[in-house]
Amino acid sequence: MLRFGLALLLVCGPVEAFAQARIVGDLPRKENKPLESLAGVETEYGVVRTSDRVRLRTIITRPAGSSGKLPAIFHTQAVSCGSLDPLPADRLSVLGGLAWRSGMVLVRVERAGTGDSEGPDCSALDYDTEVRHYREAFDQVARHPWVNGDRIVVYGSSLGSTTAPLVAQGKKLAGIIVQGGGATTSLERMVNFDRLYLERSGKYRPDQIHDEMIRRIAFHQLYLLGRKTPQQVAAERPDLADVWKNIRGGAEAPPHYGRPYAWHWQAAEKNFLAAWAKIEAPVMVAYASYDQFEPRASHKVIVDTVNRLRPGTATLVALNGYDHSVWRYPDEFAAYREEGGQRAPEALLDPMLSWLKEKVMPR
């Protein structure tokens, strides 16, 4: 804790301590929740309005004492429905480090039904609506008085890495960063989730994996491509009836990773690699070697595709010894069980900051 506090003082300077946060606009605060308070950071709680008349909370930060328009980072979230408010003030996080150390504006948008945001609960929010809300929010915050609309970076984490290139389509960007998500199809992604589960969870013998994977592939084809609920799959294929309860993110986090089936059906329709092929801004892709979900190949295909089209514009960063959430583990099996890990956000934050300094910040 002391080391972290000293680091903040070095970044922020003496007693630029805790800048006052404020609310602007007409979206009320829910449940009298206190405002975020971060050392060396000015925070504005604002609002954007979507085309379906939903008010979404924006949380926009900039370095305390700054003025004028700054380059900005626009964040697209992982699949889970948690709020992005507040960032932890007593420990380093990737988003907190970007707010503190990048010298840029950081833009967070609370999804519908999350935090102060209106609309359907996040657990009922479909993929297409989520992407549209992000795109509409992007256009509005690009005009914010703190933001240099010509110098915006989209940063997507985990399954936010799939929404990031879709949000970016047709937008003027200074760059795009993703971590923990690749450009393979959603069908391949879910099949790979299952492969890693069978290999690393310790619940299956090696001789069981082949037959179990065949069953799971058949299930996902009906579920994701056939747009059938797990219950419909079970009725149509009784031999697959028990698959769903053993799929990670299924029965233990209903409907599926906390999102509706339609979210996953719509994601399965998306051509992510085609979206990446249209990105003309510099690209950084970070891959963790002990990732519990995404293999290196699904990350590397982004970099390879972009560099074939625009040589030298995409960078692959390897986070060796780290997992999906950027914790350090002794091996991939301990990472999968989440045993003996240490939080290490700087493993991702440091290369991100270096890349942003080189590609985005004024020289």
Per-residue pLDDT tens for 246-302?
Answer: 999 998 889 999 999 999 999 999 999 999 999 999 999 999 999 999 999 999 999
Q: Which residue ranges does the chain devote to CATH 3.40.50.1820? A: 2-184+273-359
Predicted TM-score of the model (pTM): 0.94
The model's pLDDT over 44-71, given as tens digits with 9 standing for 90+, comes to 999 999 999 999 999 999 999 999 999 9
Structure tokens at 190: 């879910």
Query: Which CATH superfamily hosts domain 2-184+273-359?
Result: Alpha/Beta hydrolase fold, catalytic domain (3.40.50.1820)
For residue 317, pLDDT over 60 is answered with: yes
Residue 6's pLDDT band (cuts 50, 70, 90): very low
Query: Half-sphere exposure of residue 300, counting CA atoms within 13 Å on the CB side?
Result: 6
Phi then psi for residue 341, to 5 deg, are: -90, 160
Return the closest-CA partner of residue 220 out of 237, 198, 201: 237
Please state, in angstroms and as integers, the Cα–Cα distance from residue 142 to each residue in 122, 134, 156, 177, 187, following that order. 24, 12, 17, 18, 34
> How far is it between the farthest Cα atoms of the chain?
66
Q: What is the mean pLDDT of residues 181-193?
A: 97
Q: What is the DSSP string of 166-189?
A: HHHTT---SEEEEES--SS-HHHH
79 and 158 in contact (C-beta within 8 Å)? yes
Give the torsion through C-alpha atoms of 275, 277, 281, 284, to 10 deg.
90
Most confident of the following: 1-15, 16-30, 104-118: 104-118
The model's pLDDT over 111-152, given as tens digits with 9 standing for 90+, comes to 999 999 999 999 999 999 999 999 999 999 999 999 999 999
Per-residue pLDDT, 32: 86
